[in-house]
C-alpha cells in the first residue's frame, strides 16, 4: 500500500500539480495550506481523498502533528518574493519553516523526504557550459534574501541527511511555466508580455520547464534518486530575447524588439531603488532583479533526466497551456 504523503505548499502553483500527480498514482494526500488560503486553494479534486490541513510553517504550533501518520513528505512550501530584495518574511518561511518541517519529518519517521529547492542555489553557466549540481553557488552577488534563504534551507536538509540519516532527496526547479498559476507567479511574465507592458528585453537568459514535468520528477523522487543528492529540474535554456519572441508568437502579440543594454538596465534598477527609498513604496523593479536579468542562468538537467526520469515537455506546450488557462479564467 502506498504511503500517505504530506505536501507542504499544496495551494501554490507547483503544489497543486504535485497533489494532482500524487492522486493520479494512487497516493493518499495530506495537503498543508496556509490558514489564509483554506481548501479553496486546492484544485477540483472530485471525490478523491485529500485531507486538508491549515497551518503556517513559519508558525510551528500551527503545524504540530500534521505529518503524524505520513510515510513521506514533499516540502514545496516557499516564499519566492524577490521584491523587496531584503525581506525577513522570506527567511521565516524558506529557512526557519524548513527547519520546522524537518522536525515534523523526524518525529513522524518518514521513509522519504523530498525537498523542493531552486536551481538558483547552484552556479549558473553559459549555453556551452551550463551550470549543474556541482557548480558552486553564485547568488551572493545579488543580495536577494530569496536565493540566500533557499541556500540556507538546502544546507539544513543536507545536515539532516548527515546527522539524522534523514532519507531526503532534493529537487531544484528552474523557471516553471504552465496552467493553474492562480496567483499568478512565474507565469505573470506571459501576462505582462500579452498586455504590451514589456518595452524591451534584458541581456541575460534562463532555463524554462513545464510545471507538470517538475511535478512528475518530484513525485518520482519518492521512490527514485539517491538520498542526499540534488537534482536540477529544468528543460530549455533560452535568452530573454528568444523566450519573449516565442511567447509572443504563440500568444499572437508583438514581441519587444529592443534589447536593453546591461548598463542602462543597471541604471534603471538603481533609479528604482532610489524611488523606493524616497517614497517608501516598492518600485516596479529593484537593482537585484536587474542584475539577475543581465546574467545567463543556464543549467544542465542531465542528472535529473537520468536518475529521476524527468520529462521534457516542449516549452511551446507549457506556454500555450498557461495562456489558454489564463484566458479561460479571465486573466487575459
Task: Provide the grid cell at 185.
Answer: 507567479
pTM score, whole prediction: 0.95
CATH number for the region 4-181+207-236+299-313 comes to 3.40.50.720
Question: Could you count the other beta carbons within 10 Å of the beta carbon of residue 54?
Answer: 18
For the packed helices 145-164 and 97-108, what is the interaxial angle rounded to 10 degrees?
20
60-108, pLDDT tens digit by residue?
999 999 999 999 999 999 999 998 889 999 999 999 999 999 999 999 9
Residues in Cβ contact with 144 at an 8 Å cutoff, skipping those fewer than 6 apart: 82, 85, 288, 292
Domain boundaries, the chain: 4-181+207-236+299-313
Would you state the pLDDT for residue 36? 63
CA nearest to 247, candidates 293, 187, 290: 187
Question: pLDDT grade, residue 276 (50/70/90)?
Answer: confident
> Averaged over 142-170, what is the pLDDT?
97
What rounded mean pLDDT belongs to the chain? 93
Would you state the pLDDT for residue 69? 96
Does the pLDDT at position 45 exceed 50? no
The percent of residues above 90 in pLDDT, for the chain, comes to 83
Question: pLDDT grade, residue 176 (50/70/90)?
Answer: very high
Phi, psi of 286 (to 5 degrees): -140, 170
Amino acid at each position: 500500500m502506498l504511503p500517505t504523503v504530506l505536501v507542504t505548499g499544496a495551494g501554490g502553483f507547483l503544489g497543486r500539480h504535485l497533489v494532482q500527480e500524487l492522486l493520479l498514482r494512487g497516493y493518499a494526500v495530506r495537503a498543508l495550506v496556509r490558514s489564509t488560503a483554506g481548501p479553496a486553494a486546492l484544485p477540483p479534486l472530485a471525490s478523491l481523498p485529500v485531507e486538508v490541513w491549515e497551518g503556517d510553517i513559519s508558525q510551528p504550533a500551527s503545524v504540530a502533528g500534521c505529518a503524524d501518520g505520513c510515510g513521506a513528505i514533499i516540502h514545496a512550501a516557499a516564499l519566492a518574493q524577490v521584491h523587496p530584495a531584503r525581506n525577513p518574511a522570506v527567511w521565516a518561511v524558506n529557512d526557519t519553516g524548513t527547519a520546522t518541517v524537518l522536525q515534523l519529518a523526524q518525529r513522524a519517521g518518514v521513509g522519504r523526504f523530498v525537498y523542493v529547492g531552486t536551481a538558483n542555489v547552484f552556479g549558473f553557466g553559459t549555453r556551452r557550459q551550463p551550470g549543474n549540481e556541482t557548480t558552486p553557488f553564485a547568488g551572493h552577488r545579488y543580495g536577494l534574501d530569496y536565493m540566500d534563504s533557499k541556500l540556507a534551507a538546502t544546507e539544513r536538509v543536507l545536515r539532516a541527511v548527515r546527522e539524522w540519516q534523514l532519507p531526503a532527496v532534493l529537487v531544484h526547479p528552474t523557471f516553471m511555466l504552465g496552467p493553474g498559476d492562480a496567483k499568478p507567479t512565474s507565469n505573470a511574465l506571459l501576462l505582462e508580455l500579452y498586455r504590451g507592458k514589456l518595452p524591451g528585453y534584458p541581456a541575460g537568459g534562463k532555463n524554462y520547464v513545464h510545471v507538470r514535468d517538475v511535478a512528475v520528477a518530484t513525485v518520482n523522487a519518492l521512490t527514485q534518486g539517491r538520498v542526499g543528492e540534488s537534482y536540477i529540474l529544468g528543460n530549455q535554456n533560452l535568452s530573454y530575447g528568444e523566450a519573449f519572441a516565442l511567447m509572443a508568437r504563440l500568444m499572437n502579440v508583438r514581441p519587444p524588439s529592443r534589447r536593453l543594454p546591461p548598463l542602462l538596465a543597471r541604471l534603471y534598477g538603481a533609479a528604482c531603488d532610489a524611488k523606493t527609498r524616497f517614497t517608501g513604496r516598492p518600485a516596479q523593479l529593484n537593482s537585484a532583479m536587474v542584475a539577475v536579468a543581465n546574467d545567463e542562468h543556464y543549467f544542465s538537467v542531465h542528472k535529473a533526466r537520468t536518475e529521476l526520469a524527468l520529462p521534457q515537455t516542449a516549452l511551446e506546450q507549457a506556454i500555450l497551456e498557461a495562456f489558454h488557462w489564463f484566458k479561460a479564467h479571465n486573466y487575459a
